[in-house]
């Protein structure tokens, strides 16, 4: 009777708004201004990135490079699929050279300026070379498939191409955890201990077929915290980065892992592939309609004879850049809805509302924490920090009497990092300053 009376007295005293504000106010002053400036600058980065891409494709067309690459591929082989794959090589690598100044600014200089980059320029450049090589291989297969379909079905290629590209995407998602991600980071099994057992316990409770947790050395690249349950079928892998372990409490780690497991349990990978397929149908149809008209008007100057001409590849990508820029609010909304669902799942699975709020504050160090509604709808592919913290505190209020006594208060400051002993030696890194740890 005494315990029940005490719980009844505690429950009404929890103020969701006050608890949320206590967390939100831990990011203030210069740190908050820096976070807002970084994220708001990203709005313009979307536009400039698209325009830089469009400009690079126009250079390829106006200078006749695209037509020369086609001619070279045709001289080397008569097999059209191989011609398309050969065309992709100069298209990707010269395209990378054309956009290199912008990519260096956007991917290295700007990240360094905001304290989000740990790598030297040489280290960053080396990893970009690896990414470029992987992209070249994927692009060669993509161009080969799509142009084969254009020749095979001039009136319906847009529909068949949407399906083919979707299958290629699903294949990449399946092999990425095992064959692509390890090209950039070292993955090692997480050291045995209570936290690892709790993560696997959550996984098994939610029927996730994983018997190991992997730690990857993201601290060599940046200070962002991150984790994922990636792959499809036999390649399913639970991973978290060393920044998350170095900076977060066990409650924070479990909260993040509960969120990531939500993506798996709720079939978000499959749903995103399906939704991307529908978006692709629209994009491919727009290309089917617009590209022939552009070629009819400018093709003679560009050396492009028609939609099935390999020299038209930059025309297709030019239009894709513009279409995807306009579609950004749509793609952001699709992703953001899945993120909210995963948040709610993670709160139920981990039952760590304060850990979740602390993680949301860590992520808010590079995402604007309190945007307007329209701003969040247009530019955020994840819920804002204020949105996430408020939902965590609302969940806590609804489950207050179910939580242990030591979890019923509000923890205002961010707790100290975990003991480094839970991190494998190969994945250890010094704890980063609170103002710079990002995801």
pLDDT single digits (tens) 364-373: 999 999 999 9
Q: What is the pLDDT of residues 128-149, one digit of tens each?
A: 999 999 999 999 999 999 999 9
End-to-end alpha-carbon separation of the chain, Å? 46
Are residues 55 and 163 both part of a single domain? yes
Q: Are 338 and 271 in contact (CB under 8 A)?
A: yes
Are residues 234 and 208 both part of a single domain? yes
Q: How far is CA 92 from CA 60, 108, 174, 178, in A?
A: 11, 20, 24, 24
Structure tokens at 45: 């980065």
Scanning 11-120, the segments in alpha helix (DSSP H) are 16-24, 29-62, 65-76, 80-104, 110-113
| Radius of gyration (C-alpha) of the chain in whole angstroms | 24
Are residues 298 and 359 both part of a single domain? no
Q: What is the pLDDT of residues 204-216, one digit of tens each?
A: 999 999 889 999 9
What pLDDT is stored for residue 13 in this prediction?
76
Mean pLDDT of the chain: 90
What pLDDT is stored for residue 409 in this prediction?
67
CA 401 to chain centre: 36
Dihedral through CA 56, CA 58, CA 60, CA 64, nearest 10?
-160
Are residues 364 and 428 both part of a single domain? yes
Residue 324 pLDDT > 80, yes or no? yes
Q: How far is CA 294 from CA 107, 306, 336, 404, in A?
A: 32, 10, 35, 65
Are residues 173 and 192 both part of a single domain? no
Q: Which of 8-12, 53-57, 302-306, 338-342 has the lowest average pLDDT?
A: 8-12
Q: What is the pLDDT of residues 239-268, one digit of tens each?
A: 999 999 999 999 999 999 999 999 999 999
What pLDDT is stored for residue 286 in this prediction?
98
Last residue of a domain, one of 293, 310, 328: 328
Are residues 283 and 253 both part of a single domain? no
Are residues 263 and 308 both part of a single domain? no
Q: Are 291 and 319 in contact (CB under 8 A)?
A: yes
Are residues 431 and 321 both part of a single domain? no
Residue 201 pLDDT > 70, yes or no? yes
The pLDDT of 53-61, averaged and rounded, is: 98
What pLDDT is stored for residue 403 in this prediction?
83
Residue 79 pLDDT > 70, yes or no? yes
Q: Is residue 1 part of a domain?
A: no
Are residues 281 and 300 both part of a single domain? yes
Structure tokens at 350: 């981990």
What pLDDT is stored for residue 412 in this prediction?
44
How sure is the predictor about 10, in pLDDT bands with cuts at 50, 70 and 90?
Answer: very low
The pLDDT of 47-62, averaged and rounded, is: 98
Q: Is residue 411 part of a domain?
A: yes
3 Cβ contact partners less than 8 Å away, ≥ 6 residues apart: none
Q: In what helix (H) or strand (E) does residue 214 lie, and over which residues does it extend?
A: strand 213-216
Q: Is residue 12 part of a domain?
A: no
The pLDDT of 14-29, averaged and rounded, is: 95
Are residues 179 and 196 both part of a single domain? no
Are residues 279 and 386 both part of a single domain? no
Are residues 264 and 390 both part of a single domain? yes
Q: Is residue 363 part of a domain?
A: yes
Burial 45-78 (b: 16+ CB within 10 A, else e): eeeebbebbbebbeebbeeebbbebbeebeeeee
What pLDDT is stored for residue 233 in this prediction?
81
Last residue of a domain, one of 328, 354, 372: 328
CATH code (residue 376) = 3.30.2010.10
Q: Is residue 358 part of a domain?
A: yes
Q: Is residue 311 part of a domain?
A: yes
| SS3 of residue 189 by DSSP | strand
Q: Is residue 2 part of a domain?
A: no
Last residue of a domain, one of 283, 302, 328: 328
Q: What is the pTM of this model?
A: 0.88
How sure is the predictor about 125, in pLDDT bands with cuts at 50, 70 and 90?
Answer: very high
Q: What is the span of the domain harbouring residue 257? A: 19-30+185-268+332-436
Nearest of 49, 326, 327, 283 to residue 165 by alpha carbon: 283
Number of domains in the chain: 2
Q: Is residue 84 part of a domain?
A: yes
Residue 214 to residue 228: CA distance in whole angstroms = 10
């Amino acid at each position: 009777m005494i315990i029940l009376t005490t719980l009844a007295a505690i429950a009404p005293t929890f103020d969701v708004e006050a608890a949320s504000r206590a967390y939100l106010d831990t990011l203030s002053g210069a740190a908050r201004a820096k976070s807002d400036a970084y994220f708001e600058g990203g709005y313009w980065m979307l536009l400039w990135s698209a325009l830089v891409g469009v400009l690079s494709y126009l250079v390829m067309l106006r200078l006749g490079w695209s037509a020369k690459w086609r001619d070279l591929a045709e001289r080397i082989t008569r097999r059209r699929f191989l011609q398309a794959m050969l065309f992709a090589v100069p298209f990707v690598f010269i395209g990378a050279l054309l956009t290199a100044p912008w990519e260096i600014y956007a991917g290295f200089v700007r990240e360094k300026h905001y304290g989000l980059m740990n790598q030297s320029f040489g280290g960053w450049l080396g990893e970009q070379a690896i990414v470029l090589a992987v992209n070249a291989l994927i692009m060669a297969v993509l161009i080969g498939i799509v142009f084969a379909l254009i020749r095979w079905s001039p009136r319906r290629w847009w529909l068949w191409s949407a399906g083919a590209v979707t299958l290629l995407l699903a294949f990449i998602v399946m092999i990425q955890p095992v064959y692509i991600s390890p090209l950039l980071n070292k993955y090692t099994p997480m050291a045995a201990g209570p936290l690892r057992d709790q993560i696997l316990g959550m996984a098994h409770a939610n029927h996730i077929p994983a018997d190991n947790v992997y730690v990857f050395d993201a601290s060599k690249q940046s200070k962002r915290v991150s984790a994922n349950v990636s792959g499809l079928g036999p390649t399913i892998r639970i991973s978290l980065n060393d920044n998350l372990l170095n900076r977060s409490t066990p409650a924070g780690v479990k909260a993040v892992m509960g969120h990531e497991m939500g993506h798996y349990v709720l079939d978000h990978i499959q749903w995103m592939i399906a939704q991307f397929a529908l978006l692709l149908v629209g994009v491919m149809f727009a290309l089917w309609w617009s590209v022939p008209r552009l070629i009819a008007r400018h093709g003679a100057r560009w050396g492009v004879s028609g939609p099935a001409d390999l020299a038209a590849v930059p025309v297709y990508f030019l239009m894709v850049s513009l279409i995807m820029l306009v579609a950004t609010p749509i793609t952001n909304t699709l992703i953001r809805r899945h993120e909210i669902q995963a948040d709610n799942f993670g709160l139920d699975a981990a039952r760590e509302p304060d850990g979740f709020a602390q993680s949301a504050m860590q992520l808010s160090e590079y995402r604007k924490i309190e945007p307007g509604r329209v701003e969040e709808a247009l530019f955020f592919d994840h819920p804002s920090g204020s949105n996430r913290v408020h939902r965590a505190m609302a969940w806590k209020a609804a489950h207050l009497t179910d939580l242990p006594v030591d979890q019923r208060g509000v923890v205002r400051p961010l707790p100290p990092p975990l003991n480094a002993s839970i991190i494998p030696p190969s994945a250890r890194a010094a704890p980063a300053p609170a103002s710079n740890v990002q995801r």
